[in-house]
Structure 1
Amino acid sequence: MTDFSSARSVSASGMQAQAQRLRHLSENISNADTPGYRRKLVSFETALGQGSRVSRVEVGRVSLDQSALSQVYDPAHPMADETGQYAGSNVDLLIELADAREAQRSYEANLKMFDQARKMSTSLMQLLRR
């Protein structure tokens, strides 16, 4: 595997990991008002590529945030207890949107790295043909 294809492989794995992270963030945002919903947390791991020394980024196990669920006061809600409260979700939209922005920027950085490695590889091939 050449250095250019290794760089493209690493950046492609980064794009895949960030895309999966964005998918879980969008699930968190869409379920922000779902009673009892716990936000999903994504962790990243490094893994060696097949037969190479190049590390790749992979998404580890997805875990649920164990922080306390918010208590919502709504006596008319069917899930409300005798005090009129029920367990909401532990999703904070501000945090989710900030994480989504970070994942988007990381995806774009990996995309630029992939494109740059492709351009460099193409330029090298053109030079070698001369």
Structure 2
Amino acid sequence: MGFFDGYNVATSGMSAQRTRINVVSANIANAKTTHTAEGGPYKKQQVVFEDVLVANSKKRTNSNDIEVTNSPLSELSLRGVGVKKIIQTDAKPVLRYDPTHPDANEKGYVAYPDINPVVEMVDLIEAMRSYEANVTAFNTHRGIDTKTLDIIAGN
């Protein structure tokens, strides 16, 4: 493990959670949007994460020079998390009767996005807590490195 690996993992987690926070915020902001540029109501979006792996320059071995794992992934090392893609859900719109609304159909129903603000708020809180956990991991790693450098310097 390299000196900066802990920082890289934590910052990639913060970046991924920031994207998630932005997407959930957009869902909440558009919970009542009945007409978009594409036509129809807003469609809820979700973030899909992926692990970010890179190849190791040497084989992982223990003190007896025996390979640690027979896994085909043994040559890969975790470097963090990334955003694979942002997808739109296929949820059907919710129809509400409001004949005075400009987007009402001929029967007086308006198509609203199927977005539950309570569920979105819970998702937002979870993303914020995950972001905070990554900040804590980053700060802990920094504290360990600072103490290590103090010991090496003889302070």
Instruction: Please classify the TM superposition score into its range, dividing by the shorter chain length.
Output: over 0.9
Contact 1:44-1:59 within 8 A present in 2 as well: yes
The 5-angstrom pairing of residues 21-100 of structure 1 reads 21-35=20-34, 36-49=41-54, 53-100=77-124
Question: Following TM superposition, where does structure 1 have runs of at least 4 consecutive aligned residues deviating by more than 3 angstroms?
Answer: 49-52
Contact 1:49-1:56 within 8 A present in 2 as well: no
Amino acid at match of 2:113: S
Amino acid at match of 2:46: L
Separation in 2 of the partners of 1:6 and 1:38? 37
Separation in 1 of the partners of 2:14 and 2:56? 21
Separation in 2 of the partners of 1:50 and 1:103? 29
Alpha-carbon spacing, 1:9–1:126, altered in 2? closer, same or farther (3 Å): same
Contact 2:8-2:79 within 8 A present in 1 as well: no
Give ranges in structure 2 of 5+ residues lacking alignment: 35-40, 58-76
Indicate the SS of the match to 2:4. helix
Residues 32-81 of structure 1: per-residue CA shift (max 9 Å, x gap): 11011111111100112486723310011111111111102110111111
Q: Give 1:124's aligned residue.
A: 148
Contact 1:13-1:58 within 8 A present in 2 as well: yes
> Per-residue deviation at 1:95?
0.8
Q: Give 1:10's aligned residue.
A: 9
Alpha-carbon spacing, 1:34–1:50, altered in 2? closer, same or farther (3 Å): farther
Separation in 2 of the partners of 1:113 and 1:56? 13
Indicate the SS of the match to 1:54. strand
Whose Rg is larger? 2
Q: How many corresponding residue pairs?
A: 129
Q: What is the root-mean-square deviation of aligned Cα atoms in Å?
A: 1.5
Q: Which shifted more, 46-55 or 87-96?
A: 46-55
Amino acid at match of 1:12: T
Give ranges in structure 1 of 5+ residues lacking alignment: none
Structure with the higher fraction of residues in strand conformation: 2
